[in-house]
Amino acid sequence: MSAAQATASRAHPAGEGAGWGPGEVRLNVEQASYAYAGEREAPLFTLEATSFQARQRELVAILGPNASGKSTLLRLISGALAPLSGRVELDGAETNRLDPRTRARRIAVVQQESSLLFPARAWEYVLQGRHPYRRALRFETAEDLAIATNALAQVGAEALQDRWMDKISGGEKQRVILARALAQQPVLLLLDEPTLHLDIGAQVELLQRLRQLAQENRYTVVVVTHELNLAAEFADQVVLLHRGRSLRVGSPAEVYRQDLLEQVFEAPLEVEIGPAGRPRVIVQGNRSEDAGG
Amino acid sequence: MRPVTLKRLAWSCGLLLAVLLAVVLVALKLGAVPLSVSDLALNLGRVAIGRSAQLPSEYRLIIFELRLPRILLGILVGAALSVAGAGFQALLRNPLADPYVLGVSSGAALGAIVSLVAAPHLTTLGPLVTPAAAFLGAALTIAAVYLLGRRGGQLDGGTLLLAGIITASFLSAVIMFLMTTLSGRDLRGMAFWLMGDLSTPPPPSTLVRSVFVGGILIAVGAIYTTAADLNLLLTGEREAMHLGVQVTRVKLVVYIAASMLTGLAVSVSGAIGYVGLLVPHAMRLLFGPDYRLLIPTSALGGAIAVVLADTLARTIAAPTELPVGAMTAMAGAPVFIYLLRRRLR
């Protein structure tokens, strides 16, 4: 019907046919672990066995302090790293065994930083998302252009189309980068700290948009973030990591326990439940002094 | 949206081909023996309609045995160096990369000289040993510069350029040392060759010629097949991988092909500098940064630039000839400084 739905249906050629209905598990992270090789025998950093499952239309937030293994877990899910033990499956296929083109058609990754060596316009950037569909020595087809236009429209960035990437604001740039990911027509959308460098308005807007895209395009969205309250508001599931261990997986209400969060983030925090049943985290600036006095 | 289309590619290349043709005609006309436009047109016309037997012998010598071979050599060398430069820029993610600046040309020159010193009397295979040794020299040098240009496991733009320049200076010292052992040879000719010179007569054997031409065509073609991947490689290896690029394979293809282009070009014309830097940048300004357009336009633009520079080198101080490398360096070094300053700002 609408262009957005057209994109969504094209985005899932194998969707229902392969038997992965709406209720089925799409992403299965099963006891996946990883270790970065150190100088000697001892690994520099280890991510211990982590498990969780996500369905389509679900938004999963990976939370934890710095160096807790969030980005490593995301790279395992993306298939860029092969797990040391366990497996990461997307619709039943191990992500690290997919060939790069197939993987790029199924999984889109939005990275923390994206740098360009030579200036490019927003539309050129978005068209890069069509690369996994392009045949060698071929140019973009009319379909590629339509999909890129539609992707820009889905993130409300049509007006940015002809602007230079280095001359637009951080929030606008983030939207164009997201549009490039949509142009890949993935089933799994991964984002590594997408709210970094964004003001609070742009952060909320981005999470709302991800929520909406997960619904409309039937994506599974996994987002690494530091924003506890945004995650609590928008995530269906939360994976809490601490020093390479997955401490708890569940709904925000299940994971956001005061003692647990205080221990993980090493900060005085208070958790209260909001009107919609979603938890909220409040920073208690003076509590340690009060306790001491 | 205005993406690259086959039509745009054809138009850009057609335009550059017309310019190249004009430059070739000028290069045929100018020189120590001046030819009038009408004589040139008449004699080219005779060849075009298959009546080359009617050519006066002095024209045959000047046009077809002296000037045209040199122009064709300039076309091939210019195309090879420009495409190698564009390739290195993507491979190393450094807009200032160029075979000459990175020391790759010096490595190729050292390889060529080592082959001349070690095996000067190999008559049958000799002409093939030199380009092969130059290719090897180029490939080893770029590998060394790549390793030296890393800081903390990351490729660092400034360190890479510094590593290239220091490597070039070291290799030049070794070349000077080896040259003193080539006592019987014309040292002035050698010095010209090192500066980059197209006056060396082309190799006489058809086999060597076809290896040279074929090698350049294959290497340019190989880099062209990765053009769409190179666009993404410029945004970073990890991002390119997530967009479906087989990063290791693409890097290997460009590494081998760009080294081959440098080795082949240097083995016949010495180290003509800055072509690989100037031409791709000029083409980006004219036609945009898309590598699917940049590779073919750089090949043609490089041909134009080198034929033009060589014509200037032959005529500017006539009857004395300058090495073409001196011309390209005079134009290239200031542009390099400009690009470096702009990047540092």
A32 part of contact set with chain B, CB < 8 Å: no
- B chain contacts of residue A124, beta-carbon cutoff 8 Å: 3, 290
Residue ranges of domains in chain B, CATH in brackets: 16-344 (1.10.3470.10)
Closest CA to A162 of B3, B321, B304: B3
Which residue in chain B is spatially nearest to A133 when comparing CA positions? Answer: B244
Dump the DSSP string for B138-149: HHHHHHHHHHHT
Tell the residue number behind the tokens 């001196």, with chain if given: B326
A111 contacts: CB under 8 Å, gap ≥ 6: A192, B236, B238, B239, B242
Q: Which pLDDT does position B125 carry in this prediction?
A: 58
Dist CA B92 CA B100 (whole Å) = 14
Q: By mean pLDDT, which of A96-105, A116-125, B199-208, B266-275 is the weakest?
A: B199-208
What is the predicted ipTM?
Answer: 0.83
Q: Which token pair is A146?
A: 């339509």
* SS3 category, A238: strand
Dump the DSSP string for B250-308: HHHHHHHHHHHHHHHHHHHH----SHHHHHHHHHHHHH-S-HHHHHHHHHHHHHHHHHH
What B117-125 contacts at long range (C-beta under 8 Å, 24+ apart), as own/partner pairs, is B117/B178, B117/B181, B117/B182
Spell out the per-residue pLDDT of chain B, length 345, in tens. 788 888 999 999 999 999 999 999 999 888 777 777 777 777 777 777 777 677 777 777 777 778 888 899 999 999 999 999 999 999 988 888 889 889 999 999 999 888 877 766 655 556 778 888 889 999 999 999 988 888 777 777 788 888 999 999 999 899 888 877 766 555 666 777 787 788 776 666 778 788 889 999 999 999 999 999 999 998 888 899 999 999 999 999 999 999 999 999 988 888 898 999 999 999 998 898 899 999 999 999 999 999 999 999 888 877 778 888 888 888 888 888 888 787 654
A197 vs B135, residue with greater confidence: B135
- A chain contacts of residue B284, beta-carbon cutoff 8 Å: 118
Cβ count near B328 (within 10 Å): 31
Q: Which pLDDT does position A8 carry in this prediction?
A: 43
A68 vs A119, residue with greater confidence: A68
Binned at pLDDT 50, 70 and 90, residue A222 comes out as: very high
Q: Which token pair is A63?
A: 């939370």
| Residues 69-128 in B contacting A (C-alpha not used; CB under 8 Å) | 89, 93-95
Taking one residue from A and the other from B, the number of pairs with CB-CB distance under 8 angstroms is: 82
Dist CA A284 CA A270 (whole Å) = 7
Closest CA to A210 of A154, A139, A140, A276: A154
Binned at pLDDT 50, 70 and 90, residue A14 comes out as: very low
B194 vs A12, residue with greater confidence: B194
Q: Which pLDDT does position A286 carry in this prediction?
A: 64
What percentage of chain A exceeds 70 in pLDDT? 86
Q: Which helix (H) or strand (E) holds A51?
A: strand A45-55
Q: Which pLDDT does position B235 carry in this prediction?
A: 85
CA angle B176, B340, B235 (to 5 degrees): 110
